[in-house]
Amino acid sequence: MYDSYLVVKDTLQNDVENGKTVGFSFGVRLANYRGIFLSLVNGFYVEVDGKVYSRDEQTFEINGRPARSMDEIAKCYWEHWDMQDMGRVHILEEGGLAPGEHKITYMECNLAYYGYHGKGCDDEIFVKNPPQPGDPMGSEKTPIKNDYVLELR
Protein backbone atom coordinates (compact mmCIF):
# COMPACT_ATOMS: atom_id res chain seq x y z
CA MET A 1 0.00 0.00 0.00
CA TYR A 2 0.98 3.59 -0.63
CA ASP A 3 4.18 2.34 -2.26
CA SER A 4 4.95 5.67 -3.95
CA TYR A 5 4.24 7.76 -0.84
CA LEU A 6 5.72 6.10 2.27
CA VAL A 7 8.75 8.37 2.34
CA VAL A 8 7.33 11.88 2.14
CA LYS A 9 8.49 14.25 -0.61
CA ASP A 10 10.54 17.31 0.34
CA THR A 11 11.27 16.17 3.91
CA LEU A 12 14.95 15.16 3.72
CA GLN A 13 17.16 17.37 5.85
CA ASN A 14 20.36 17.26 7.86
CA ASP A 15 20.02 17.27 11.66
CA VAL A 16 22.10 19.93 13.36
CA GLU A 17 22.74 19.93 17.11
CA ASN A 18 24.77 22.69 18.78
CA GLY A 19 26.07 23.81 15.41
CA LYS A 20 27.23 20.30 14.49
CA THR A 21 25.64 18.11 11.81
CA VAL A 22 24.94 14.83 13.59
CA GLY A 23 22.84 13.06 11.01
CA PHE A 24 19.82 13.41 8.75
CA SER A 25 16.10 12.77 8.86
CA PHE A 26 13.05 12.33 6.63
CA GLY A 27 9.28 11.98 6.98
CA VAL A 28 7.46 8.63 6.77
CA ARG A 29 3.85 7.50 6.67
CA LEU A 30 2.26 4.23 7.79
CA ALA A 31 1.73 1.57 5.14
CA ASN A 32 -1.66 0.74 6.58
CA TYR A 33 -5.31 1.74 6.57
CA ARG A 34 -5.24 2.14 10.36
CA GLY A 35 -2.98 3.62 12.98
CA ILE A 36 -1.02 1.39 15.36
CA PHE A 37 0.28 1.39 18.91
CA LEU A 38 3.75 2.90 18.96
CA SER A 39 5.14 -0.11 20.85
CA LEU A 40 4.65 -2.17 17.69
CA VAL A 41 7.11 -0.08 15.67
CA ASN A 42 10.33 -2.11 15.51
CA GLY A 43 12.44 0.18 13.36
CA PHE A 44 12.78 0.83 9.66
CA TYR A 45 14.74 -0.57 6.75
CA VAL A 46 16.72 2.45 5.63
CA GLU A 47 19.31 2.38 2.88
CA VAL A 48 20.66 5.68 1.61
CA ASP A 49 22.85 5.75 -1.49
CA GLY A 50 23.69 2.09 -0.88
CA LYS A 51 24.50 2.34 2.84
CA VAL A 52 22.19 0.47 5.25
CA TYR A 53 21.46 2.02 8.66
CA SER A 54 20.55 -0.35 11.51
CA ARG A 55 17.81 0.03 14.11
CA ASP A 56 20.41 1.20 16.65
CA GLU A 57 21.32 4.15 14.43
CA GLN A 58 17.68 5.26 14.22
CA THR A 59 15.45 7.39 16.42
CA PHE A 60 11.80 8.20 15.77
CA GLU A 61 9.97 11.49 16.18
CA ILE A 62 6.15 11.39 16.46
CA ASN A 63 3.25 13.04 18.33
CA GLY A 64 5.05 16.33 18.85
CA ARG A 65 7.68 14.81 21.13
CA PRO A 66 11.46 14.81 20.69
CA ALA A 67 12.90 11.84 18.78
CA ARG A 68 13.04 8.65 20.89
CA SER A 69 15.29 5.59 20.53
CA MET A 70 13.66 2.44 19.16
CA ASP A 71 14.03 0.81 22.60
CA GLU A 72 12.02 3.66 24.14
CA ILE A 73 9.42 3.44 21.35
CA ALA A 74 8.98 -0.28 22.10
CA LYS A 75 7.79 0.67 25.61
CA CYS A 76 5.05 3.05 24.42
CA TYR A 77 2.31 0.44 24.89
CA TRP A 78 -0.62 2.87 24.87
CA GLU A 79 0.58 5.71 22.66
CA HIS A 80 -0.79 5.64 19.13
CA TRP A 81 0.71 6.52 15.75
CA ASP A 82 -2.41 7.78 14.02
CA MET A 83 -2.85 6.84 10.37
CA GLN A 84 -3.11 10.50 9.33
CA ASP A 85 0.22 11.50 10.88
CA MET A 86 3.72 11.76 9.48
CA GLY A 87 6.57 10.55 11.69
CA ARG A 88 10.20 11.48 11.21
CA VAL A 89 13.02 8.92 11.08
CA HIS A 90 16.33 10.34 12.31
CA ILE A 91 19.59 8.65 11.35
CA LEU A 92 22.90 9.13 13.12
CA GLU A 93 25.56 9.94 10.53
CA GLU A 94 28.33 12.33 11.42
CA GLY A 95 28.44 15.19 8.91
CA GLY A 96 25.00 14.27 7.53
CA LEU A 97 24.35 14.06 3.79
CA ALA A 98 25.88 16.11 0.99
CA PRO A 99 23.70 18.64 -0.85
CA GLY A 100 21.76 17.28 -3.83
CA GLU A 101 19.62 14.22 -4.54
CA HIS A 102 19.77 10.98 -2.55
CA LYS A 103 18.24 7.59 -3.15
CA ILE A 104 16.42 6.20 -0.11
CA THR A 105 15.34 2.56 -0.08
CA TYR A 106 12.71 2.08 2.59
CA MET A 107 10.42 -0.48 4.20
CA GLU A 108 8.69 -0.23 7.57
CA CYS A 109 9.06 -2.87 10.27
CA ASN A 110 6.24 -3.23 12.76
CA LEU A 111 4.38 -5.97 14.58
CA ALA A 112 0.76 -5.08 13.80
CA TYR A 113 -1.13 -8.15 12.61
CA TYR A 114 -4.60 -9.65 12.87
CA GLY A 115 -4.71 -11.14 16.35
CA TYR A 116 -3.02 -14.39 17.32
CA HIS A 117 -0.88 -16.07 14.70
CA GLY A 118 -1.62 -19.32 12.98
CA LYS A 119 0.51 -22.25 12.00
CA GLY A 120 4.08 -21.78 10.87
CA CYS A 121 4.54 -18.69 12.96
CA ASP A 122 4.87 -18.47 16.72
CA ASP A 123 3.89 -15.37 18.71
CA GLU A 124 6.23 -16.37 21.56
CA ILE A 125 9.18 -16.44 19.17
CA PHE A 126 8.22 -12.94 18.01
CA VAL A 127 8.47 -11.63 21.56
CA LYS A 128 12.10 -12.75 21.79
CA ASN A 129 13.08 -12.39 18.14
CA PRO A 130 10.80 -9.95 16.33
CA PRO A 131 11.23 -9.44 12.58
CA GLN A 132 14.12 -7.08 11.95
CA PRO A 133 14.05 -4.16 9.52
CA GLY A 134 14.15 -5.56 6.00
CA ASP A 135 12.13 -8.71 6.83
CA PRO A 136 8.86 -8.66 4.82
CA MET A 137 7.08 -10.02 7.94
CA GLY A 138 7.51 -6.55 9.40
CA SER A 139 5.48 -4.83 6.71
CA GLU A 140 2.55 -7.03 5.96
CA LYS A 141 0.73 -4.40 3.88
CA THR A 142 3.74 -3.34 1.77
CA PRO A 143 6.23 -6.19 2.09
CA ILE A 144 8.67 -4.84 -0.49
CA LYS A 145 11.43 -2.24 -0.36
CA ASN A 146 10.56 0.86 -2.34
CA ASP A 147 12.97 3.45 -3.73
CA TYR A 148 12.56 7.20 -3.32
CA VAL A 149 14.72 10.03 -4.62
CA LEU A 150 14.75 13.11 -2.39
CA GLU A 151 16.71 16.30 -2.56
CA LEU A 152 18.31 17.52 0.63
CA ARG A 153 16.52 20.65 1.87
Contact residues: other proteins, CB under 8 A: 1-5, 29, 33-37, 39-40, 74-75, 77-78, 80, 82-84, 111-121, 123-124, 126-127, 130, 137, 140-141, 144
In the complex, least distance from residue 103 CB atom to other proteins, rounded to whole angstroms? 17
For 24-49, give the DSSP string.
Answer: EEEEE--SSSS-EEGGGEEEEEEEET
Judged by beta carbon, residue 24 or residue 45, the one nearer other proteins is: 45
Judged by beta carbon, residue 55 or residue 93, the one nearer other proteins is: 55
In the complex, least distance from residue 140 CB atom to other proteins, rounded to whole angstroms? 7
In the complex, least distance from residue 63 CB atom to other proteins, rounded to whole angstroms? 8
From CA 34, how far away is CA 31, in angstroms rounded?
Answer: 9
From CA 46, how far away is CA 89, in angstroms rounded?
Answer: 9
3-state secondary structure of 45: strand
In the complex, least distance from residue 67 CB atom to other proteins, rounded to whole angstroms? 19
The H or E element spanning position 89 is: strand 87-92
In 3D space, the residue among 150, 136, 41, 43 whose CA is nearest the CA of residue 105 turns out to be 150
> Running DSSP on this structure, what letter comes out for residue 24?
E
Say how many C-beta atoms besides its own lie within 10 A of residue 127's C-beta: 9
Judged by beta carbon, residue 2 or residue 101, the one nearer other proteins is: 2
In the complex, least distance from residue 92 CB atom to other proteins, rounded to whole angstroms? 23
Q: Beta partners for 114?
A: none
Judged by beta carbon, residue 100 or residue 118, the one nearer other proteins is: 118
Judged by beta carbon, residue 16 or residue 83, the one nearer other proteins is: 83
